[in-house]
Amino acid sequence: MKIFSLISKFLPEQTAFTHCDIPCGIYDPHNAQMAAHTVLRMTNMLDELKPSRQEPDFEERKRIISQIARLTRVKEEHGELVEEELGTLENDYFKDEHFKKFPNLKSLIEEGVMLSIKTRQNIDIDAAKKLLDATMQIAEIFYKTKNLEPVRVSSGYPTEGEIVSHK
């Protein structure tokens, strides 16, 4: 017990966050792409939200404020989810060999994280589109690391964008 106490004194406890406690081998960029589509959709909806007249009445103001709050909350949650999913892929799935084979992978992940932050701080459609594109490029690399052919298909979502899957 004294040895453990001595060791813990010099090596303080740290919290670790992982996809799961067991190396399960279940990784997929799908959630990051879905979250990026949601960020884009919420950004579009926030940008489109307009009062019916120059000086809306109190009831309409309450409705608009409520909508802004709800859309912003969802945009925030999904922006955080993009970061979490990219972090899981970067820290748990991608290995040194992947970063060597795809030299732009590290910068794509960093760009995705920075764009996620930017989209949460602002109502920026261009940044939201770039976030989606970055997650799709990461998804393409992900599938290539599994020797699968990535394909872009129509998402069918109101964002009118694509999603990366594999053949």
Collapse the DSSP code of 19 into the 3-class scheme (helix H, G, I; strand E, B; otherwise coil) and give the result: coil
Whether residue 150 is contained in a domain is answered as: yes
Mean pLDDT of the 61-78 span: 97
Whether residue 91 is contained in a domain is answered as: yes
pLDDT in tens, 136-166: 999 999 999 999 999 999 999 999 999 999 9
Whether residue 8 is contained in a domain is answered as: no
Q: Which domain holds residue 130?
A: 29-50+58-166
C-alpha count within 13 angstroms, C-beta hemisphere, residue 124: 15
Mean pLDDT of the 80-96 span: 96
Whether residue 22 is contained in a domain is answered as: no
What percentage of the chain carries pLDDT values higher than 70? 86
Whether residue 10 is contained in a domain is answered as: no
Q: How far from chain centre, in Å, is Cα 80?
A: 6
The pair of structure tokens assigned to 32 is 């990051």
Whether residue 80 is contained in a domain is answered as: yes
Whether residue 98 is contained in a domain is answered as: yes
Higher pLDDT pick, 60 / 25: 60
d(Cα 42, Cα 90) in Å, to the nearest integer? 26
* pLDDT band at 24; cut points 50, 70, 90: confident
The pair of structure tokens assigned to 23 is 């190396």
Q: Does the pLDDT value for residue 105 go beyond 50?
A: yes
d(Cα 30, Cα 136) in Å, to the nearest integer? 9
Note the pLDDT of residue 156.
Answer: 95
pLDDT in tens, 106-135: 999 999 999 999 999 999 999 999 999 999
* pLDDT band at 16; cut points 50, 70, 90: very low
- C-beta neighbour count of 119 within 10 angstroms: 28
Number of structural domains (the chain) is 1
The contacts of residue 26 (CB under 8 Å, 6+ apart) are: 19, 20
Q: What is the CATH number of the domain that holds 87?
A: 1.20.120.400
Mean pLDDT of the 45-57 span: 95
Whether residue 20 is contained in a domain is answered as: no
Q: 152 has which bridge partners?
A: 164
Q: What is the DSSP string of 127-142?
A: HHHHHHHHHHHHHHHH
Q: Does the pLDDT value for residue 10 go beyond 90?
A: no
